Structure 1
Amino acid sequence: MLERARAAATYLASYEPQAGVRSLADIVNPAVLAYVTELEELYNGGEPFRPVLRMPSGRPANR
């Protein structure tokens, strides 16, 4: 998937300036924001999740 996103960003930046994509970040950032917003709606009452400074390493413990 990352390869497809890189290819799209490279193509769009070079040949389709009206797309507004100049880098991989222009594709990734809006997609991540949309997904996090959806997760906040589903699991946190529409509120932002509590900020963390560093994610714990390893797999989460089974609940």
Structure 2
Amino acid sequence: MTELLEDDDEAYPVKEEVSNAITSVIGALLAIVGLYFLVTRATSTGDVTKIVTCTIFGLSLLI
């Protein structure tokens, strides 16, 4: 039972942590680009409902 409670200082290798950080940054950048294009296209229609829904969806990509 005490084996489960021990704190493992190196749960993940450093390379894995770096690759996770890089892929997270790439995903966030792609989400920002997607949000820009979604809102731009929705704005060009002039429909408030489309603008709001596309903005909410685009922001949810960043979460």
TM-score normalized with structure 1 length: 0.36
Larger radius of gyration: 2
Larger relative contact order (C-alpha < 8 A, sep ≥ 6)? Answer: 2
Higher helix share: 2
